[in-house]
Amino acid sequence: MTLALSQKTPDARVGQIIKLAVMAVGGQGGGVLTGWIEALARAQGYAVQATSVAGVAQRTGATIYYLEMTPVSDQQPVFALAPSAGDVDILIAAEMMEVGRAVMRGFVTPDRTTLIGSTHRALAVSEKSAPGDGIADAEEVRAAAEIASQRLILADMDRLAVDQGSVISASLFGALAGSGALPFARAAFEDAIRAGGKGIDASLRAFAVGFDAAERGVAPVDQVAKSTLPALKGPARQMQEWQQLLTRADAMPGPVQAMAKAGLHKVVDFQDCAYGAAYLDRLDSILARDNAARDWALAATAAKYIANAMAYDDIIRVADLKTRGPRFERIKKEMGAQEDQLIQLTEYFHPRAEEIAGMLPAKMGARVEANPKRMAQLDRWFGKGRRLRTDTLPAFMILHVVGGLKGYRLRTRRHAVELAHLEAWLSRSLASLERDYALSVELLKCRRLVKGYSDTHARGLSKFDSVMNAADLLKGRSDAADWVDRLVKAALQDPDGKALAGAIETVRSFA
């Protein structure tokens, strides 16, 4: 007897597991995006498993969401709980450095991985806390991603979503649909959003622009547009004085003009037009010692750092900035607050005794600073820090009044100290001008180490003094300017100054 067995044609898709990872930091909607993808796959007849491994850093850190899916069949699929290097089909990164981390961890491979990423930046704590410019180079990440991936889709998904009144998860979902990496129709993706039941219209708009961005191909990493100076406003007499100052700046050599205007704007905004005139007077004195043969490098450098030195961060300045209307508008925009929603805003202050003494009249402040008991008393009174909710009228009025003390600022102890420091710095920097022009330029640049207020200002000032003192050991050397540049870069490497200490020891070894 012959026994005939009937067999149905096997589904070619059975056994093919699609592996997708989403890398996002807290607050970027990685969980929402994962939920949409999971709902989409189930609705299309796929068995799905979704897992997540949360980080433990700022805003929950970088979370990895992982999904595996395969068509439902008689066979029971066995899914992995986390992605493995070299075994990911689709990688979605909600931020440019997440793109880099995905490449570094081996999740992106040229033989199989479609990489979808956003070019915007959510700066890491290490980038924010660096004394200098600690921002990682996004172009290097992009170049590595182009090599590592089979297909690369990059665009500013965050901006695309925000412009549509939505969040990045929706535009990334659209990019996933537009990539064609999943075997589902666009309508199925949109149905998954509708099934979510929240923010449907805005999410669909963001989905559409993300879809279009993926279809257009790889977009270049966005370049930061050159900012223009905001227009100053004021009474007619003061605006006339401002225009006269601008005319003086316009008369300066071409290489100096742009920086002189920016510096002038900064010091006038800090104080007033008379203060701006004093800034231009100082710059004119340096221009008289500079020349076109050097492309006015000395004056252009001085234009930047004299302005920074004159517009120091005292309590008056901080209070002024924290109570300006545009700042509140920016915060509301960043928070996505609607007109009918309230925002609770808490300001954190931790002034040292030096900041409080600096607010006193110059002579009185000097006496207090010279008295350890008085300084200890100020530290006991103010050293615990303060939290002020500027969404409430009393706290806002306190800061608004303090921020309006510009007329008093020039009589304070802090201003006297800053003015003396400014004059001493210029004198030391220009002392070697006749015999070493490049050294004078680099010494002027040392001022970039002094920034911020409170403890940040104290650390920067200490590094500044260390570099300027080390520069005295280099005078007369042909490579003095190069070594000062190295010292400044070392000072900007870490908050503790370990790199600077090592560089100074090197200088002492051959000085």
> At which of 366, 383, 414 does a domain end?
414
Q: Which domain holds residue 503?
A: 431-511
Q: Which amino acid is at 292?
A: A
Q: Is 493 a domain residue?
A: yes
Do both 116 and 204 map to the same domain? yes
Do both 458 and 356 map to the same domain? no
pLDDT range class, residue 333, cuts 50, 70, 90: confident
The 10s digit of each residue's pLDDT in 13-41 is: 445 899 999 998 776 778 899 999 999 99
> At which of 201, 216, 231 does a domain end?
216
| Residue with the larger pLDDT of the pair 309 and 27 | 309
The 10s digit of each residue's pLDDT in 456-471 is: 888 899 999 999 999 9
Q: Is 156 a domain residue?
A: yes
Q: Is 232 a domain residue?
A: no
> At which of 366, 385, 414 does a domain end?
414
Do both 365 and 502 map to the same domain? no
Q: Is 300 a domain residue?
A: no
Say if residue 455's pLDDT is above 50: yes
DSSP 361: B
Q: Is 240 a domain residue?
A: no
pLDDT mean over 132-149: 80
Angle, helices 273-287/254-270, rounded to nearest 10 degrees: 150
Residues in CB range of 59: below 8 A, 6 or more apart: 25, 26, 27
- The token duo for 341 is 């929603």
Do both 131 and 40 map to the same domain? yes
Q: Is 321 a domain residue?
A: yes
Do both 407 and 479 map to the same domain? no
Do both 360 and 324 map to the same domain? yes
Provide the CATH number for the domain around residue 139. Answer: 3.40.920.10
Do both 89 and 190 map to the same domain? yes
Do both 364 and 437 map to the same domain? no
Do both 437 and 403 map to the same domain? no
Total tally of structural domains belonging to the chain: 3
Do both 208 and 106 map to the same domain? yes
Do both 397 and 463 map to the same domain? no
Please tell me the pTM assigned to this model.
Answer: 0.72
Q: Is 277 a domain residue?
A: no
CB atoms within 10 A of CB 80: 13
Say if residue 4's pLDDT is above 50: no
Residues in CB range of 359: below 8 A, 6 or more apart: 314, 315, 316, 365, 412, 413, 414
Report d(CA 308, CA 322) in Å as an integer: 19
Q: Is 293 a domain residue?
A: no
Do both 376 and 499 map to the same domain? no
The 10s digit of each residue's pLDDT in 351-377 is: 889 999 999 999 999 999 999 999 999
Work out the angle at residue 399's Cα, subtended by the Cα atoms of residues 364 and 232, and round it to the nearest 5 degrees: 100
